[in-house]
Chain A
Amino acid sequence: MTRTVELDLATPGLDAQGQPTRMPLAASDLGGEHLLLNMGPQHPATHGVLRLVVELDGETVVRCIPHVGYLHSGFEKLGEYRHYNQIVPLTDRTDYLSPMANNVGMALAAEKLMGIAITPRCTVLRVIACEMSRIISHMVWLGTTSIDLGAFTPFLWAFQERERIYNLQEMWTGARLTTSLTRVGGLMADIPDAFVDGLRKFTDTFPNTLGEIDRVLTRNAVWAGRTQGVGVMTPAEAINYSLSGPMLRASGVPWDVRKDRPYLGYETYDFEVPVGEHGDVYDRYLVRLEECHQSNKILQQALTRLPDGPINVDDPRVILPPKSRAMSDMEAMIFHFKQVMEGVKAPVGEAYVGIENPKGELGNYFVSDGSAKPVRWRIRPPSFINLSALSKMAEGHLLSDLVAINASVDIVMGEVDR
């Protein structure tokens, strides 16, 4: 039996109000004949090994069931068998698009647990690390999302900028991706001589690229048409679903951990927190783009105020003595031996530190029973929690909008699955 379905097709273009016109949804008299569509885990638009089982009515998403866990590595379990400093390399591999910020988050929680106050130079260097991470993470987000929505050029520009930060990270830590930057009570290395000049050059020229991206995308009819009004979360919904980071702020909730729970002296920097008003994919784009401008501003201020001095706390119980002293000085050798063999012991208790990661609030929660290894290391994974709202956001949208919505969550599966 054949059945004719009349579709009222609109001509793509602008309507009387200057808003891009939309294709109407497929008529729902197909009701009852739903299609099961599997998307992923190997699919370029799922940004990693995410699998979505989608129930479709025509082209409309009725239900979207995400399946995660393909990249589960048991980091939290591994952390229970490692000394605090040995956990740092694990944090590189969770949100691998902003490794330095993860290192900082974990170190801050361990230091809070142990009651260690870090040096002024270390504080500023960690701010630089966090803001560099924010820029590269947002650049990856922007590049991949624009590709998902059919714009190829911004991808190339964004990845060029990311490359420049990666060169700086390599200069600082010797690694581009697995930086393992922090140690409990300090950093693994001070910045090299050419770093400040290199970063200053970056901060001088980076806004030009942001301007170009803005010019290509922000008022682009295709971009606006694909993103405006798509995947809307109201402020109340965003709070109820525990969204954080740009996802929460795009919905109009002005919560930024850097402003509301300042750490690393963020309260002394002059920067704005962009907040959206519609909570759709377009606003998430605007918020992230503006965050790059603000991060650039913070980087410039941090470079100006970067103080001289030691990067590590002066406490031989947590910081390894220099190798030369460990080999010649009896006391230094004992501390060296104890730290390597026994690790740094944390007092009994627990500590949670949330930091504003590019994806949202990254929490590190340590519970200690007094030994050198945590009883429990919990990562509050921002993109895992943001992703849990995907079904809600996708419901009732077109399948092609699902790609835009999924991209706008800014997931990284290493962190979702841990």
Chain B
Amino acid sequence: MNSQIPGWLRETVARDGETIVYVARERLLEAMTWLNQTPGQDYDYLVDVTAVEFRDRERPLEVVYFLRSLSRRADLRVKVELDAAGDLAVDSVWGLWHGADWLEREVFDMFGISFHGHPDLRRILMWETYAEGFPLRKDFPLRGRFSRAEQVRQALNANPEAHYSLDELSIADAWGDLPDDMRERLKRGERGVVPE
């Protein structure tokens, strides 16, 4: 039934009764665009994005997308498998669902999976200079990689200016870099539009 999805590989049913569709990594964005825009599919709502790494090192990592069609009252789970030893990267779905912004950043932060095309892929829960790795990976020890003494040393040596990103520090010069439409809107003093 779902095999018309571009890049469809196989599908199973989860223990909660939901259909899980595995799609090819190269065709993820194509599949998501199809699911989002095809009439009769209309998956307009992204519930969640996360990743799973199994204790069994042979199994690939999975990036899991929870999709929902609000109009059809239907859910679908889409998975992409990534080889842990290979290139941990998939295409970003931010262009389809802006809700993916922080969710993909969190997966990047916790698992080290990159999302091509994400507008602002930075660490989100850990700080930007965090050097111990990716906490939710199975090879990451529960106590962290660095000793407590090393963590304290790094904290004490931190540069307070580093609390601002370069991007933020250059804000005073940033006006010219804003997108034209946003600059126009701000000049007009528009405060957002109340929908009819």
Question: Does A239 have its Cβ within 8 Å of any Cβ on chain B?
Answer: yes
A351 to B171, Cβ gap below 8 A? no
Q: Give the Cβ gap from A390 to chain B, nearest Cβ, in Å.
A: 10
Q: Which of A36, A115, A229, A241 contacts B171 (CB 8 A)?
A: A36
Question: Does B52 have its Cβ within 8 Å of any Cβ on chain A?
Answer: yes
Within 8 A of B (CB), among A226-282: 229-232, 234-235, 239-243, 252-253, 255, 260, 277-280
Within 8 A of B (CB), among A36-66: 36, 38, 53, 55, 57, 60, 62-63, 65
Q: Which of A31, A72, A385 contacts B125 (CB 8 A)?
A: A72
Give how many A-B residue pairs fall within 8 Å (CB-CB). Answer: 174
Q: Give the Cβ gap from A72 to chain B, nearest Cβ, in Å.
A: 5
Known: A57-B175, A112-B15, A242-B97. Contact between A68 and B195, CB under 8 A? no
Task: Encode B157-196 as 1/0 by CB contact (under 8 A) with A.
Answer: 0000000100111011011101000100111011111110
Q: Give the Cβ gap from A161 to chain B, nearest Cβ, in Å.
A: 32
User: Chain A residues with Cβ under 8 A from B48's Cβ?
Assistant: 363, 365, 378, 380
Q: Give the Cβ gap from A97 to chain B, nearest Cβ, in Å.
A: 20
User: Chain B residues with Cβ under 8 A from A277's Cβ?
Assistant: 195
Question: Does B66 have its Cβ within 8 Å of any Cβ on chain A?
Answer: yes
Q: Give the Cβ gap from A248 to chain B, nearest Cβ, in Å.
A: 9
Question: Does B84 have its Cβ within 8 Å of any Cβ on chain A?
Answer: no
Q: Number of A residues whose C-beta is below 8 Å from B?
A: 76
- Bound complex: CA A356 to CA B164 (Å): 36
Question: Does A417 have its Cβ within 8 Å of any Cβ on chain B?
Answer: yes
Q: Which of B135, B178, B187 contacts A77 (CB 8 A)?
A: B135
User: Chain A residues with Cβ under 8 A from B124's Cβ?
Assistant: 68-69
Question: Does A78 have its Cβ within 8 Å of any Cβ on chain B?
Answer: yes
B14 to A68, Cβ gap below 8 A? no
Known: A242-B47, A395-B182, A397-B192. Contact between A31 and B52, CB under 8 A? no
Question: Does A141 have its Cβ within 8 Å of any Cβ on chain B?
Answer: no
Within 8 A of B (CB), among A64-97: 65, 68-69, 72, 74, 76-78, 81
User: Chain B residues with Cβ under 8 A from A353's Cβ?
Assistant: 16
B191 to A229, Cβ gap below 8 A? yes
A239 to B15, Cβ gap below 8 A? no
Q: Which of A31, A396, A417 contacts B191 (CB 8 A)?
A: A396
Q: Number of B residues whose C-beta is below 8 Å from A?
A: 60
Q: Which of A60, A232, A388 contacts B102 (CB 8 A)?
A: A388
Among A33, A240, A351, max chain B CB count under 10 A is at: A240
Question: Does B145 have its Cβ within 8 Å of any Cβ on chain A?
Answer: no
Question: Does A347 have its Cβ within 8 Å of any Cβ on chain B?
Answer: yes
Q: Which 8 A-B residue pairs are closest in the complex by CB-CB distance?
A: A242-B99, A25-B189, A388-B102, A349-B15, A69-B125, A351-B16, A232-B192, A380-B48
Q: List 9 A-B contacts (CB under 8 A).
A: A53-B164, A76-B136, A234-B193, A279-B195, A349-B14, A365-B50, A378-B48, A380-B47, A395-B182
Binding site for B on A (CB under 8 A): 22, 24-25, 28, 31-36, 38, 53, 55, 57, 60, 62-63, 65, 68-69, 72, 74, 76-78, 81, 112-113, 115, 229-232, 234-235, 239-243, 252-253, 255, 260, 277-280, 347, 349-354, 361, 363, 365, 367, 369, 375-376, 378, 380, 384-385, 387-389, 392-393, 395-397, 417-418
Binding site for A on B (CB under 8 A): 14-16, 18, 20, 44-48, 50, 52-56, 64, 66, 70, 73, 77, 97-103, 106, 110, 123-127, 135-136, 140, 142, 164, 167-169, 171-172, 174-176, 178, 182, 185-187, 189-195
